[in-house]
A and B are shown apart, each in its own frame.
Chain A
Amino acid sequence: MKKVININFQGRILPIEEHAYELLKEYIISLQVYFANEEGKDEIINDIECRVAELCDERLKKGAVCINESTINLIIDSIGRPADFEAQDGFEQTNTASTNSSSTHKRLYRDEQNKILGGVCSGVANYFGLDPLLVRILWIFLLGVNVLGYLILWVAVPSSSVKEVGGLRKRLFRDTDNKILGGVCAGISKYFGISVMIVRVLFLIPFIRFIFHFRHIHFFQFWDNIDFPNFIDFTFSPGALFVYIVLWLVLPEAKSSADKLEMVGEKVDLNSIKNTIQNDMEGFGKRAKAWGSEMYNNKKEERREKRNARRNKQSENGRSHIIGRLIVISIKVFVYFIVGIVGLSLLVALFGIGIAATSVLSLKGFILEEGIQSISAIGTILFFIWVPVIAIVTAIIRRLAGYKKSNKWIRASFVSLWILGWFCLFYFISSLGNSFSKHNQPTEQTIQLFNPSINSLSVNMISNSKYYENQSFHLSPFDQYGNEDTLFINNLRIRIVQSKTDSFQVTIAKLSNGKSIQEANEFASKINFNLVQVDSLLYLDRGIAIHKNNKFRNQHIILTIAVPIGKHIKINEQKGNNINLNFATWDEPWDKESYPYEKNKEYKMELKGLVPM
């Protein structure tokens, strides 16, 4: 419920809401201050008033019941605020001198006018002459590190109510006049005052690289010091697509003249009275207002409940009332806090899965069949994982930017893309499961030993420390060191059994999965695994080599060493060797013969089993 008053404004009777009237009055005062030294001041203001009245009248003729705040704001925007005039024609040249001197005494303040929480972000934005939205986005991305920083700044930095804050009024818009796709590049170029082509090329380079050198691109490999220069790929990787999409969805389009001027960002006088007024006016400007009204809507229902509660409590005294409200507020803060943390960690987790999945994609050629299976894998990563990430990030930023309504088209397309992602996921899982569904029929081959009656046998891996440093997490070891076509997997198990004769005997069984038994047999037969014997030393390959044309179908090798009674056996594992053999206790149900053992330990075979030395 809002109070409407009738005013006689430039010969027109206008029904206007009280708040809107206040806004209008402030606007006129700001004009009077701005044009104070201008010759013909009264006439100018009169003309502008006439125009405002005319525009109001038009609104009413179109069926508006009365003039409300948003109408007044629209009208004022279209005519322009004093700050906009100055940005546009800068005819008060005398101010430039004072601008120079004042900007040297720049100080960091918290911006009370544009705040969401404590005004730290918008204060920082003001200080560096950036769009507050940009600072907030950055802040969100670095969250965790800087919650503490935010609190410290909140406490330590003085509020802008101490002194009026001014600054560069420059905002990031999408420049749809010069757009190719969404106008994001054009807007960025306007904001930073550089050529559009530079921005476009920066966005495009990664795509070109992406297409031609897909497997060379490393995503977010900040865990890997060796790949340090790859952070460039992070900046300009297909992440650029992500950035572009988010910016497209988030940035407002530069529509009005004022927007377009703000986009280029001309310097606005810092210290003049005009700016003070501008701050007063803009302080309740679009964003804050949108934010506020959103909050208002959210709380409307709660308020209604509270009002009912209040009515019941009327007989009680006012103090308990205040305490009750305080409790409600603190509970609310607590709940928001928890929900926020949970939501954020979910988002981060999703983001991490997305990055991991995308990096694993470079292994695609080794696992997936060409065609629909590969496509469904890419579709799963893109639509099932990345789409919700983008959707959530977008939603958060739109909230920060203070958009009142969520765009139903954006939401609908996100939902449909995600549903598509589910389909991809199901298809992918079932198809991949099918590819692994059958086993081969393993056959045991006996490896000829040169002198099987030696006294002891020591099993070693061929050292590969050159290639495998102590890296605990390395998703794509092969494509960084030139071994791009071959992937080594370490599906190797060594069993020790008792020999029935007096000589060592080594047998090897090759196993594989596949879509059909024939396919599984074929994969198994392609396994190429070498053993080299030098006296009492037996050297094994570092893993099962899988060539790119030969898919990974859980190929594995079971190496059985039959040790005669009274002889020694030792399985060595080099330190720093990435390949972990399955030394663990052998407890497959079918295996009753073999004995558990530990690596790097010498054993003697006796009648009852292995005995450590």
Chain B
Amino acid sequence: MLKAKIMDVQNTQSQMRKGVLEFCILSIIQKGEVYPSDIVEQMKAANLHILEGTLYPLLTRLKNAGLLNYRWVESLSGPPRKYFVLTEEGNKAYEVLLKTWNDMAGAVQLLTQNK
């Protein structure tokens, strides 16, 4: 019984993380064209840890959903590298998510404070 509860908490936790991760990635890309490992660095600086191995699938999914696009940029050291940028649709999605996030953050703040 207790075990089931723990599983539920973990599930919720990972759901929360998952939603926030995508939003964070979008907000980083929204600031300008980035290379995936830079996303990892920026998130690490904000104390949000993500593995590159999880980032790539997320990027691909977002790209397939039409929110992202990429550009091949020539590099000095080797083959061209993929740089990601938000599409028009992605920008809109970002605005929506930002509003949702702000609303939710405010609500959560209120609810957790009024304990």
Contacts and interface: CB of A to CB of B under 8 A. Distances in A.
Contact of A80 (B11, B54, B77): B54
Contacts of A100: 4, 7
Contacts of B56: 44, 47-48, 51
A100 B11 CA distance: 13
B61 to A, nearest CB: 7
Contacts of A54: 77-78, 81
Interface in A473-523: none
A10 B60 contact: no
Given A54-B78, A257-B44, A39 B54 contact: no
Given A43-B60, A90-B11, A48 B52 contact: yes
Contacts, number: 98
B93 interface: no
Contacts of A47: 36, 56, 59-60, 82
Contacts of B36: 47, 51
B80 to A, nearest CB: 9
Contact of A267 (B10, B18, B21, B53): B10
A90 B14 contact: yes
Contact of B54 (A11, A57, A85): A85
A164 interface: no
Contact of B52 (A35, A53, A58, A79): A79
Interface in A20-57: 31, 35, 38-40, 43-44, 47-48, 50-51, 53-54, 57
B57 A267 contact: no
B64 interface: yes
Interface residues of B, number: 32
Nearest to A257: B49
B58 to A, nearest CB: 8
Contacts of B78: 11-12, 53-54, 57
Interface string B31-73: 0000011000000100101111110111111011000000000
Contacts of B79: 10-12, 50
A88 B54 contact: yes
B99 interface: no
Contacts of B49: 88, 257, 260-261
A80 B53 contact: yes
B interface: dominant SS: helix
Contacts of B92: none
A78 interface: yes
A80 to B, nearest CB: 3
Interface string A548-583: 000000000000000000000000000000000000
Contact of B37 (A51, A177, A257, A261): A51
A255 to B, nearest CB: 11
Given A48-B56, A78-B52, A89-B17, 4 more contacts: A12-B79, A47-B59, A57-B78, A257-B51
Interface of A: 10-12, 31, 35, 38-40, 43-44, 47-48, 50-51, 53-54, 57-58, 61, 78-82, 84-85, 88-91, 93, 96, 99-100, 177, 257-258, 260-261, 266-267
**Top 7 nearest A-B pairs by Cβ distance?**
A80-B51, A90-B14, A80-B53, A257-B49, A11-B79, A79-B52, A40-B60
Interface of B: 4, 7, 10-11, 13-14, 17-18, 21, 36-37, 44, 47, 49-54, 56-61, 63-64, 77-79, 81-82
